[in-house]
């Protein structure tokens, strides 16, 4: 019984430590963050994927700008959340502007 539990525990630790179990990354699309003017509005667009088979949504800049009623884009961020090597994935684009 003990010999079967140990490999499961070791695999669980490896998946968790290596980022295979859960990943949450946020990155800016800007070079000089010290002088970035975000603007007064914020828009978000999202796309999803499940089981590597089905995906839906629109995570584009245009969709995010439309959702935030933004006509002049000033800054954008990208967020990606992934569970169990991509069984569930969420992509999100956040744009700022006026």
CA–CA dist 77, 62 (Å, integer) = 13
Q: Which two tokens stand for residue 18?
A: 């290596």
CB distance 52 to 34 below 8 Å: no
State the DSSP code for 38: -
Tell me if 12 is assigned to some domain: no
Tally of domains in the chain: 1
Give pLDDT, residue 27: 82
Tell me if 56 is assigned to some domain: yes
Highest mean pLDDT among 12-16, 20-24, 75-79: 75-79
Q: Which domain holds residue 59?
A: 21-97
| pTM for this model (two decimals) | 0.72
């Amino acid at each position: 019984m003990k010999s079967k539990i140990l490999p499961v525990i070791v695999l669980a630790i490896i998946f968790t430590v290596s980022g295979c179990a859960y990943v949450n990354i946020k990155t800016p699309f800007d070079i000089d963050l010290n002088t970035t003017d975000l603007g007064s509005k914020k828009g978000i667009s999202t796309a999803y994927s499940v089981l590597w088979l089905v995906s839906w949504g629109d995570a584009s800049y245009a969709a995010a700008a439309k959702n935030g009623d933004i006509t002049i884009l000033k800054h954008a961020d990208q967020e990606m959340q992934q569970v169990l090597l991509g069984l569930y994935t969420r992509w999100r684009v956040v744009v700022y502007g006026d």
